[in-house]
Amino acid sequence: MRIANVDGRLKLLVHGGAVDVASASDGRFDSDPARCFEQFKELGRWAADVDAPLEPFDETTAGPPSPAPRQIFGIGLNYVDHAAESGLDLPTAPLVFPKFASSLIGASAHVQLPNGSVDWEVEIVVVIGEAARFVSPADAWDVVAGLTVGQDLSERELQWSGPAPQFGLAKSFPGFSPMGPCLVTPDELEDPNELALGCELNGESVQLGRSTDMVFSVPEVIAYLSGIVTLLPGDVIYTGTPAGVGAGRTPPRFLRAGDDLRSWVEGIGAITQTFAAPSSTSG
C-alpha cells in the first residue's frame, strides 16, 4: 500500500492516481492522515480491494505522510562511511536525538536558511504503525507502517556549539524535517532492508548509499528504541545518512540561497527543497 497526505487529506495511491480514503470508505477511515496509524492494518485490508474513482496525484503538493507524530527520533552516525567522514568512532549502540515536530514539512518545500552552516542528510524515514515496547529485531518490521524519504537538515554550528552537542535544536529549524512524497508499506518493497538512497544538489550527486551499510539496521534501531521508550502509532524515525554531507567535504560546503536539493530512496520516490536567504531577524 502507498498512501499520501494531500492538503491534509489521506489518499490511497493506485495505478498512478489517488483515491480519497474518507470518501471512498464512506467515513470508515478518517480524512486526517494523522489518524490512520490508529487503525493501520485495517486500512491495509480495506485498501487491498478498493474500487473508487481516481483523482490525479501531484506529488509536489504532498504533505508529511505522518503530519502529527508524538515523537520524532533521529539516529546519528548510522552509516559506516558517514561516521568515517565525520572523523568519529562507530557507535556501539544507536546514537539517538530528537527532532521537534514544528520542523516537519512536505515533499516539495521552500526552506528559509537560518544564519550558520546548513547541511544536507538524505535519510530513509520509518513511520511506526502500532504501539510497541520490547520488540525483537525479528518482529520489528511488523510494527512499521511504512517508509518514506526524508532530509535531516542540520545547522552545524549550533549542532556542535557548547560543551555538549545540540543535535535536537540544530536539526529542528522550521522546514528542517521534510518528508514524503508518500508512505510505502514494507511489503511493497522487494527487500526493505536493502534500499539505495541519495541526493543531488543543483543536479550534482552529493550522496549515494545503500541501507545495507547501516551500522544498526531498521529492525535493530526499533528493538533498541522500544526497549527504552514506548513507540506510538505515527511516530517517525530518521534512520541516519550515508557519506557525502557538506561538513565532510574539503573544503566544507553548505546550502546557499537558491540551491535546489533533491533526495530519493529506491522504490519510494523523491522530495525536493529549495532554499531562501536568512531573514534579517533569523539565526
Q: Of 34 and 225, which has the nearer Cβ to Zn ion?
A: 225
* Cα 239 to Cα 124: distance, rounded to the nearest angstrom: 6
**Exposure on the CB side of residue 160, measured as CA atoms within 13 A:** 8
Q: Which position has the grid cell 554550528?
A: 157
* Cα 110 to Cα 272: distance, rounded to the nearest angstrom: 9
Omega prior to 67 cis, within 30 of 0: no
Q: What is the largest CA-CA distance in the chain?
A: 58
Kindly determine how many residues on this chain lie close enough to bind Zn ion according to the rule CB under 5 A: 3
3-class secondary structure per residue, 75-92: EECCEHHHHHHCCCCCCC
Question: Residues 245, 138: contact at Cβ < 8 Å?
Answer: no
* Cα 63 to Cα 179: distance, rounded to the nearest angstrom: 8
CA 227, chain centre distance (Å): 22
Q: How far is the CB of 18 from Zn ion (least distance, A)?
A: 30
Q: Of 211 and 241, which has the nearer Cβ to Zn ion?
A: 241
Q: Of 5 and 241, which has the nearer Cβ to Zn ion?
A: 241
Q: How far is the CB of 155 from Zn ion (least distance, A)?
A: 13
**152 counts as binding Zn ion under rule CB under 5 A:** yes
Question: Residues 59, 269: contact at Cβ < 8 Å?
Answer: yes
Q: Of 93 and 138, which has the nearer Cβ to Zn ion?
A: 93
Q: How far is the CB of 281 from Zn ion (least distance, A)?
A: 27
Which residue of the chain is nearest Zn ion when measured via CB?
Answer: 152
Q: Of 34 and 126, which has the nearer Cβ to Zn ion?
A: 126
Residues in 163-182 at the binding interface with Zn ion, rule: CB under 5 A: none
**119 counts as binding Zn ion under rule CB under 5 A:** no
Q: Of 159 and 241, which has the nearer Cβ to Zn ion?
A: 241
3-state helix, strand, coil in the chain (%, to 5): 25, 35, 45
Question: Residues 184, 146: contact at Cβ < 8 Å?
Answer: yes
Q: How far is the CB of 49 from Zn ion (least distance, A)?
A: 38
Q: How far is the CB of 121 from Zn ion (least distance, A)?
A: 4
Residues in 207-246 at the binding interface with Zn ion, rule: CB under 5 A: 241
Stretch of 63-71, 147-155, 209-217, 264-272 contacting Zn ion, by CB under 5 A:
147-155
Applying CB under 5 A, among 59, 121, 200, 235 the residue interacting with Zn ion is 121
Q: How far is the CB of 262 from Zn ion (least distance, A)?
A: 17
Stretch of 23-31, 94-102, 121-129, 172-180 contacting Zn ion, by CB under 5 A:
121-129
Q: Of 25 and 241, which has the nearer Cβ to Zn ion?
A: 241
**Exposure on the CB side of residue 179, measured as CA atoms within 13 A:** 34
Give residues in contact with Zn ion (CB under 5 A). 121, 152, 241
